[in-house]
Structure formats: C-alpha cells, structure tokens
Amino acid sequence: MTKAFVAPTRRQINLIVFALMVGMFLAALDQMVVATAIRTIGDDLHGLTLQAWVTTAYMIAATISTPLYGKLSDMFGRKPLYVTALGLFILGSALSATTTSMYQLAAYRGVQGAGAGGLMALAIMILGDLLSPRERTKYQAAFFGVWGVSSVLGPVIGGFFAGAASIVGVAGWRWIFLINVPLGAIALVLIVRVLHVHHMGRGQQRVDWWGVAALTLGIIPLLTVLERGNGWGWTSGTSLALFATSVAGFALFYLAERVAGDDALLPLRMFKNRTVAVSTFVNFIMGFGMFGGLAGIPLYLQISRGMTPTKAGLAMLPFTVGIMIVAIVATRIIHKTGHYKWIPVGGVFLMLTGVLLLSRIQYDSPLWKVFGAAVIFGGGLGGLMQPLMLAVQNSLSARDNGAGTASVMFFRQIGGSLGTAVFLSLLFSNVQTKIAGAFKAAAQTPAFLQTIRDPAVNVPGSTNAAVIAAVTSGNPAQLQSSGLSLNDTSFIHDLAPQLAAPFQIGFAQAIAGVMLVAAAFIVLAFVAIFFLPSLPLKEKSGLQAMADEAEEVAGVSHKRADEEAGEQVVVPMG
C-alpha cells in the first residue's frame, strides 16, 4: 500500500529555505571574494602567473558536478547529496586556507567547486520538490536576492581580507577560506536537522558513469583552453589539440546518453520538449552575454575610469539592483496571474537594450549613463533567470526535476565560460589597435605635444618616459621591452593625464565593441524566446506529484492483478 504523502508545514518550509539560503550564500560569496583577492594570493604564494589554473579548477569541478548532482539526487534523494556537497565545500575551504602553493590551491579549489556545484543546483531542486511552480516563485526570488547581496559584499570582504597583513596571526587572505568553515558548519547542522524530505524511489537505475567520463573529457579541455587560449594563441598546437579533444568528448557524451536512455545524466528525451529546448538555448545565450557584460563593465571601471577593484565591485551595485527589482516584480506577476511567458520575452528585450547602451560608452561618459545601462542589463537577467528555470521545471515530470534543473544551470555555466573567453579574447585582440588609433588622434593636439616635450614629465627611467619613447618611435613593442605590458595595466594610472588618456580611450572603445558583439548574440535569444510555449502552472509540488504518480501506478498494478486473477476462474457448464 502506498504511503500517504504529508506536505511540510509552512514553518518547516521556511526553516529549510533559510538553511538552503545560507549554503547558496556561501557558494555565491566565495566566487566574488576570491576574484577580488586573487592578485594578493598569487603574490603571497609566488605564483601570480598561475592564477588562471585556480579559476579553471573551480569552474571545471562546478560545471561537471552540476548534472551529476541532479541525476544522483533524482535517484537517491536530495538530502544526502546536499550534505555531500556542503561537506565538500567546507573541506575544500579548510584545505585552501592551509595551502602553500598555487598548485595546491588549484587542487583545493577543485574540491570547493565540486561542492559549490551542488549547493547552487540542489537548492533549486529541493524548492521544486516542496512547492508548486506557482508558490515557489516567491522563494526563488529570495535565492536570487542572496546572489545579489553576495555580489555586493564579495568585493568588500575580499578587499578587506586581502588588504589585511594578518588577522589573529594568520595571513588576511587565508580568512577568505577559513570563514566558510564555521558558516558552512552552521548550514550543515540546519540541513541535517530540518531537511526531512521524503524521497520517492524510482526503482532500479544505474549511474551513467560512461556519460560522466565522456562529459569530463569534453569539459576539462574546453574550459582549460578557454581560460588559457588567449596566452597560448587560439591557433596554437596546444589550443587546437584541446579543442579537438573537447569535441570528441562531447560526441562521445551524446552517444553515451543515447545508449543510457532514461538512465542518462541528461536524458536526451527531455530536449524533445519544446520548453526545455528553447529554455536551454536562451539560457546558453544568456550565460554567454551575461558573463561578457560582467567581464567588460568592471574592466571599463578599473582601466578607463581608474577605480580600484573594490570600488569597481561596489560600482556594480546598479547591475545587482536591476536584477533584484525585476526578479521581485516578475515573481509577483507570475504568482498572481499564473502566467510566465512574457516575463522572459521582456527580460531578453531589457538585456538587449542594456548591452546596446553599454556599447555606446566612452572613456569619459557620465557614470550615471553607465549605471543606468547596467540597471537595464541587470533587469534583463532578473526577468530571465527564474522564469526560465520555472518553465523547465513546470514542463517536465516531477521525477525529472533534478535532471531538468541541472540542465538549465549546466548550459548557463557553459555559455558563461564561452562568453568570458570569447569576449576577453576579442577585447585584447582589438585593444592595441584602438590604443594606437587614440595615440594617433592625440598626437594632433597641442596639449599632447606639449606633454611629451615637457622635461618634468619625460623623466629618464620613468613610466612616462617609456610610453613617450614607444609613441615617438612608432614601435609599440618598445613599450613591452621596457617592462610595461597590457597584461598588467596598473602602470596606466601612474602616467600623466595626457599620456593615460589614449590607453583609457582605447580600452573603452574595445569594451564597447565587445558589447556590440554580445548584442548580436542576444538578438538570437530574442528571436528564440518567442517560441517558448505558455503552459499553465502546475498546482502540485514535486513530491505531491510523485506521490500521486506512485499511487496511480500502484492502483493500475492492483487492478491488472485482479483482472488476471479473474481470468483464472473457470465456470463449469451444465
């Protein structure tokens, strides 16, 4: 007999959501804090040139683990997988705090990433189990609010710890990782105590290890070359070999998923669902454009406007405000009306508008214009993140909640990784031409000519002198031979204003060009989003739906058994 489903109380749901928010806050904050402090960490560990591997290890682990958490949690339940993810994150944090080299840190950050991939994805899955699509909108807005708060606090906390020589006898930057241990332990206790979600078994299933292996073969070379390809050269032997390996890995992954069928890590039948197919494509483009913007705006603020990394991070507050405002408004509309389709349509339109406005920024544009465009750009993301996730969860069977949720986050992460690599590559391949053009235009002005002839500016051995020598010789390579390079732009802020301006103008123009390319990709998402079906929101939570399905299956089985038993009875004639 099927055990009756008992819905959790509102108090239980609130406690569970709070515990999940703590875990999500840790994962989201960690990325922002480390990004701010990585330069200090690299200098202290004598391996600044290896910092890319620290980022890559985290990204690889988080990306690969996301679909694995989704599938395994569908099979074995959310709670044991969430406890595992949180445990890995705490362990990775503790190990990272004790590291003595950048190679060690890269390995330990991989452990952290393996945990973080689960903290982000499983929180959304658990919410889908507990609440109906219409009800969960209110709580998903709170999750995105946590992400927004972490994006503001991250640069501040990262700057504080990185700037402290030591705290209680421990190097300041190590506290970036140490602080995760007690906070993670609190979240772990809360989860163990309050997360009592009944798991509806799915019968015998096997883990798609061939799919995991093939996906790993596809992801690791791809993310590695995306992170390092700009330095290696995109057409170098190493880059091409990694690209080829990645393509082979993804081809094998497709074949493995076809063979695995319903046991697949990402079951291919899901993508025959038009909602899933459209949402996957738009999520990929959203990640592509979002991370392009997130990479471009801080660079503009730091290089062209001279802000410190911490101030540039705080200056991203309008972007976060845009996300939160639209996300909150969208959740209220969806909760009240039960309709979601036109929210993501408006989201893509806002995102496209924002990135087009950002493509028109100049090095001396009023900051209110930059911040206004950032609010609009962020608002577009706020109108896309939650409604697309909701649409996928609403269109799939409750038993595919984990795999469906993981697929949304997986393709968003892949799009973000590709977007960051592509946009940064475009930026640095064009910026030298833009800077040269800006110097050529400046050379026609009396103020610039007076500056390069001023003995007080052109002091032998100074940064100004090195730039003047490169400009007057017409040989940009002379700048690099003097120890100055665009790989470290800090020298720009030591220059006389007339000498710094062409660098600032060149970077602003190159960043604006990148935004224009991002707009072209977002146009594709704008066309695709109109094909998103408008389905009525389900009124049952994931657990309730699975319980009803199990009861229905059990009822059919009993009826069939009774019918078969009836056929066994023979009535004698005459």
Question: Sorting pLDDT into bands at 50, 70 and 90, what band is 314?
Answer: confident
Question: Sorting pLDDT into bands at 50, 70 and 90, what band is 49?
Answer: low
C-alpha distances (whole Å) from 173 to each of 41, 151, 155, 177 are 7, 18, 13, 8
* 510 domain residue, yes or no: yes
pLDDT exceeds cutoff 70 at 194 = yes
Alpha carbon distance 431, 363 (integer Å): 13
- pLDDT by residue (tens digit) across 451-492? 888 888 878 878 888 888 877 776 655 565 555 666 667 778
Residue 9 neighbours by CB under 8 Å, 6+ apart: none
Q: Are 513 and 359 in contact (CB under 8 A)?
A: yes
Residues 24 and 79 placed together within one structural domain of the fold: yes
Supply the pLDDT for residue 76: 83
Residues 338 and 453 placed together within one structural domain of the fold: no
Q: The domain containing residue 37 runs over which residues? A: 8-202
Residues 307 and 416 placed together within one structural domain of the fold: yes
Query: Per the structure, how many domains does the chain have?
Result: 4
Alpha carbon distance 265, 254 (integer Å): 10
3-class DSSP state of 574: coil
Q: Are 469 and 482 in contact (CB under 8 A)?
A: yes
Residue 231 neighbours by CB under 8 Å, 6+ apart: none
* 337 domain residue, yes or no: yes
- How many other CB atoms sit within 10 Å of the CB of residue 418? 18
Alpha carbon distance 224, 27 (integer Å): 22
Residue 170 token pair: 């421990």
The residue from 179, 202, 225 where one domain ends is 202
Residues 166 and 52 placed together within one structural domain of the fold: yes
Supply the pLDDT for residue 138: 74
- Tokens 């990272």 correspond to 96
CATH number at residue 358: 1.20.1250.20
Q: Give which of 498, 425, 159, 493 is closest to 315, Cα–Cα.
A: 159
Residues 107 and 194 placed together within one structural domain of the fold: yes
pLDDT exceeds cutoff 90 at 71 = no
- pLDDT by residue (tens digit) across 367-413? 899 999 999 998 998 888 888 888 888 888 877 888 888 888 888 88
The residue from 454, 475, 505 where one domain ends is 505
* 76 domain residue, yes or no: yes
Residue type for 323, please? I
Residues 408 and 524 placed together within one structural domain of the fold: yes
* 402 domain residue, yes or no: yes
Residues 87 and 163 placed together within one structural domain of the fold: yes
- pLDDT by residue (tens digit) across 516-542? 888 888 999 999 999 999 888 877 766
Q: Which residue has the higher pLDDT, 120 or 198?
A: 120
Residues 369 and 478 placed together within one structural domain of the fold: no
Residues 288 and 216 placed together within one structural domain of the fold: no
Alpha carbon distance 374, 350 (integer Å): 10
**Residue percentage of the chain with pLDDT more than 90:** 18
Backbone angles phi, psi at 168, to 5 degrees: 55, 40
Supply the pLDDT for residue 547: 67
Supply the pLDDT for residue 473: 72
* 522 domain residue, yes or no: yes
Beta bridge partners of 170: 167
* 156 domain residue, yes or no: yes
Alpha carbon distance 343, 301 (integer Å): 30
* 292 domain residue, yes or no: yes
Residue 225 neighbours by CB under 8 Å, 6+ apart: 232, 238, 239, 242, 243, 246
Residues 187 and 296 placed together within one structural domain of the fold: no
Residues 192 and 325 placed together within one structural domain of the fold: no
Residues 512 and 488 placed together within one structural domain of the fold: no
The residue from 480, 505, 530 where one domain ends is 505
Q: What is the mean pLDDT of the chain?
A: 82
Supply the pLDDT for residue 441: 87
- pLDDT by residue (tens digit) across 214-264? 999 998 898 888 777 777 888 888 889 999 999 999 999 999 999 988 888
* 553 domain residue, yes or no: no
Tell me the H-state helices in 474-541.
477-481, 497-529
- CB-count burial class (<10 Å; 0-12, 13-18, 19+) for 248: middle
Alpha carbon distance 314, 325 (integer Å): 18
3-class DSSP state of 24: helix
- Tokens 């070379």 correspond to 221
